[in-house]
Amino acid sequence: MSIPMMPAGPGGPGDPGGPGDPATTMLEPTATEHGTSLWRGAVQRLRRNPAAIIGALIVLAFVVVAIIAPLLAPYQPGTGEWAGQVTPGKVPGPSDEHVLGLDSFGSDMLTQLLYGARQSLVYGVVSTAVGLVVGASLGLLAGGFGAVGGRFGKAVDTLVMRLVDIMLSVPSLLLAVSIAAVLGKNAYAIIIAIGVAQVPIFARLLRGSMLAQGRSDYVLAASALGIRKRRIVMSHVLPNSLGPTIVQATLNLATAIIEVAALSYLGLGEGNPAVAEWGRMLVAAQDRFAVDPRLAIYPGVAIAITALGFTLFGEALREALDPRSRR
């Protein structure tokens, strides 16, 4: 009596090698393997988010205006060329020669606003970059040692985070004001003051992300295979932990622009009162607000819209990278 042979290859459901066989199921690629990458999927979700589009357009307009301000501005900033037309009871308003009128020092208002965007962009980006680099370095040190460093790593993590906690105990704006007051009235003081105030935010965020990644299965597998801890941290844990930190940097740009204006408003910004900077323009406008409110409205609206753009885009980016919001 002959026994019929099973045909080679996958059979029906439940047959060895068929679709229902557990061994075959384990070897089949999952949907994640065929899906899009993290950042590509985030870009796709951003395209479908109206808030992200509006925020991106505002940020793009702000950056373009700041870069090409010399081409758009009809005059040179801070010249005070028409100071003779400004009186204690009157500041010339919009005219054919000056679309938005003059400011309190006799300079063209449109020119001051355009160059003020450049100042805000430079201060905001550089100060955020300073906070990101220093804070991420501390977070990498604490998170790297804390994730795979054993008992010694835990001690390093504790030491670094106690330093960060001391910085966090002081409100960020108060810390920035204190540093700017010590360093003096100049651009470097503003950048350092705002950057240092952002350091603990990035340090805690990156450290927390790295500790969470350190408990992942792929880290345990890499350790079991004998891969060096430094390589695990730099090649695997750190790249997978940078997403939330990048999102926070986008949000911090809005905070940095507001804090630049706040420091200038408190008299800790540029020493030249006629400099084209939105916060300084608000300071100059407060004595003449009853005479001409537009002197404060224009820079105030510019600050609010710019901060709104960075906030909308940053929040949309955070949601796009959040695994719980993926469809």
Contact (Cβ atoms closer than 8 angstroms) between residue 257 and residue 120? yes
Token reading at 44 = 């796709």
Asked if 276 contacts 112 with a C-beta cutoff of 8 angstroms, the reply is yes
How distant, in Å, are the alpha carbons of 37, 87, 185, 193, 312 from that of 272? Answer: 49, 20, 9, 19, 33
Cβ-Cβ contacts under 8 Å for 250 (sequence gap 6 or more) = 310, 313, 314, 317
Task: For residue range 34-76, list pLDDT tens digits in order.
Answer: 445 667 777 888 888 898 899 999 999 999 999 998 898 888 8
pLDDT value, residue 293: 86
Overall CATH class of domain 49-74+98-325: mainly alpha
Enumerate the β-bridge partners of residue 90. Answer: 87
Crossing angle for the helix pair 109-148 and 294-321, to the nearest 10 degrees: 30
Confidence of residue 12 (pLDDT cuts 50, 70, 90): very low
Look-up of token digits 């005479």:
291
Which three-class secondary structure string do you get for 173-195?
Answer: HHHHHHHHHHHCCCHHHHHHHHH
Of residues 77, 97, 90, 132, the one with CA closest to residue 281: 77
Q: Judge whether 45 and 38 are in contact, CB under 8 Å.
A: no
Q: Quick one: which of 209, 205, 197 has its CA closest to 238?
A: 209
% of the chain exceeding 90 in pLDDT: 15
- What does the pLDDT look like over 147-186, one tens digit per residue? 766 677 788 888 998 999 898 888 888 888 888 888 887 7
Distances (CA, A) of 282 to 83, 266, 276, 303: 18, 10, 11, 10
3-state secondary structure of 90: strand
CA 202, CA 213: separation in Å to the nearest integer? 16
Do 231 and 217 form a contact (C-beta atoms < 8 A)?
A: no
pLDDT at 13 over 60: no
- Enumerate residues 6+ apart whose C-beta is below 8 A from 28: none
For residues 138 and 256, give the distance between their C-alpha atoms in angstroms, rounded to a whole number: 20
- The residue extents of the domains of the chain are 49-74+98-325
Measured between alpha carbons, how far is residue 50 from residues 40, 55, 193, 248 in Å?
18, 9, 34, 20
The backbone torsions φ and ψ at residue 17, rounded to the nearest 5 degrees and listed phi first, read 85, -5
Q: What are the residues facing 87 on neighbouring strands?
A: 90
In this structure, of 75-89, 108-122, 133-147, the range with the lowest mean pLDDT score is: 75-89
Give Cα 295 to chain centroid, integer Å.
Answer: 29
Cα separation, 105 vs 83, whole angstroms: 6
Q: HSE of 205 in the Cβ direction (CA atoms, 13 Å)?
A: 20
How far apart, in whole angstroms, are the C-alpha atoms of residue 113 and residue 200? 32
195-250 pLDDT, tens per residue?
Answer: 999 999 999 999 888 888 877 788 778 778 888 878 878 887 888 888 888 888 88
Judge whether residue 27 has pLDDT over 90: no
How many angstroms separate the CA atoms of 282 and 287, rounded? 10
